[in-house]
Amino acid sequence: MESVVELRGVSKRFGSTRALRGLDLDVRPGAIVGLLGPNGSGKTTLMRMLLALLLPDEGEVRVLGRSRVDEVKHRVGYLPEDRGLYKDMKVGPFLIFMGMLRGLSRGEATRRTTRWLERMELADKVREACGGLSRGQQQRIQTIAALIHEPDLLILDEPYSGLDPMLRRMLADVFLEQHRRGCTLVLSTHLMHFAEEVCDHVVMLHRGEKVVDGTLHELRAREVTGTLICEPASHGADPAPIEALPAVEELRRDGFRWRVRLRADADPSEVLAQAARAVPLVRAEVERASLEDLFVRVVREREAS
């Protein structure tokens, strides 16, 4: 299947700063790809290149099968990190304008504006000036502007930054709806735990270089630690039966939970079953390194080498 996004040996330099170095990337149709990395790692530069806002010094960028990205912009939705609206323009005309820019007729853009404003609980704001809205309301308007034409590819640069949990959940649901519709999502975030919840593919950037590229499933399988997390059914439960298991090296209390370190040759899934039989548990799982742990480890390894 043809990639939705394809980068080959892409480099970009701003003066003496190298923003991207020889980057290769493939995004398959229907994926939710998280671009992760600290500030200055090249995420925004990469996203701007996907929309031809910046052109690479070297390498090739293809989006939806075209190297001339301007030709497919009407099939792409973009929510930039630097979000803005026309302060004096009213909400309704702004969204209709954005819809028409993406190829919708005036009538269709008007219908979709009404529908989306209701979906985002902003139906009563249609005649208000964008500049008079709260930050959260403005963010929802900007999100509608990115989605109104039902794009095939949605590029979201830090879509959850500065949002309260309720609004973050609302937008995450909207993005997942788009994904179910068949839209491919590329989103950047430095909130790695949020990427773990939403993304099925992760690309980590560090100083313009790709340091990790894989599905979340692959990365999690690779990052299994030799530790179990157990939460007993009762607060005063005795952990001795688990400590006595031959594969267990050490058990440590961690609040309500027990952290059980296994011997090097132990099979975690087998010990998990034995532990559940030994003591009544409400939760038992093999501990995995978080994406943040993974990122820190990879970066340290690269810097050491």
Partner 1 sequence: MIRRILVVAEREVRETVLRRAFLMVLLTPLGMLVMVLALAVALPALVTWLGPSVEPASVLEVCPPSLVEPVRAGLPEWRIETCGAVERSTLDARVTLDDDGRVHVQVRHRDDTVALVRAVDHAVLAEQLHEAGVDPTALEQASREVVAEGWREDRAELAELRGAILGTGVSVLLFLALLIAGQQVLMATLEEKGNRVIEILLGAVGPGELFVGKLAGQLVVALVFAASWGIPALLLVPLVGLWIGPVTVLEIALFLIVDLVGWMALTAGVGSLLSDLGEARQAVGRAMPLMLALVFVGWGVASFPELPMSRALGVLPPTCAFAMPVLLVSNAPPPQWQVALAMSSTLAMAAITVWFGRALFRLGLLLRSRPPDLRTLLRWLRSS
Q: Spell out, one character per residue from 211 to 250, where the chain touches partner 1: x when CB under 8 A holds, - when not.
A: ----------------------------------------
Taking CB under 8 A as the rule, does residue 303 contact partner 1? Answer: no
Residue type, 144: I
Give dist(CA 34, CA 23) in Å, integer: 15
Rounded Cα distance between 77 and 47, Å, is 12
User: Is residue 145 a contact residue for partner 1 (CB under 8 A)?
Assistant: yes
Q: Which amino acid is at 209?
A: E
CA–CA dist 143, 129 (Å, integer): 17
Is residue 137 classed as helix, strand or coil in its secondary structure?
helix
| Residues that contact partner 1, how many (by CB under 8 A) | 32
CB of 121 to partner 1, least distance (A): 21
What does the block give as tokens for 276?
Answer: 């559940």
SS3 category, 221: helix
Residue 19 binds partner 1, judged by CB under 8 A: no
Kindly write out the interface string for residues 103-122 of this chain, putting x where it contacts partner 1 by CB under 8 A and - elsewhere.
x-------------------
**Residue in 40, 89, 229, 231 binding partner 1, rule: CB under 8 A:** 89
CB of 144 closer than 8 Å to CB of 78:
no
Interaction residues for partner 1, span 148-187 (CB under 8 A) = 155
The DSSP letter of residue 53 is S
Q: Which residues bind partner 1 (CB under 8 A)?
A: 48, 51-54, 70, 73-74, 76-80, 82-89, 93, 97-98, 100-103, 142, 145-146, 155
